[in-house]
Structure 1
Amino acid sequence: MNIGDSLKAWAQRIKRDGLTLWFAARHPDAPWYAKALGLFVVAYALSPIDLIPDFIPVLGYVDDVLLLPALIWLTVALLPTAVLAQCRAQADAWIIENGSRPSSKAGAVMIVVLWIALGIAAWLWLAPRLPG
Structure 2
Amino acid sequence: MTGSFWWDLLIGIGGAVVLAWLALVVVLIIARPRGSLLREALRVLPDLLRLLRRLAADPELPRGVRIRLALLLAYLALPIDLIPDIIPVLGYADDAIVVTAVLRSVVRRAGLETVRAAWPGTDDGFAAVARLTGLNAAER
- State the TM-score, normalizing by the size of structure 2: 0.45
- State the TM-score, normalizing by the size of structure 1: 0.47
Greater percentage in helix: 1
Greater RCO (CA < 8 Å, at least 6 residues apart):
1
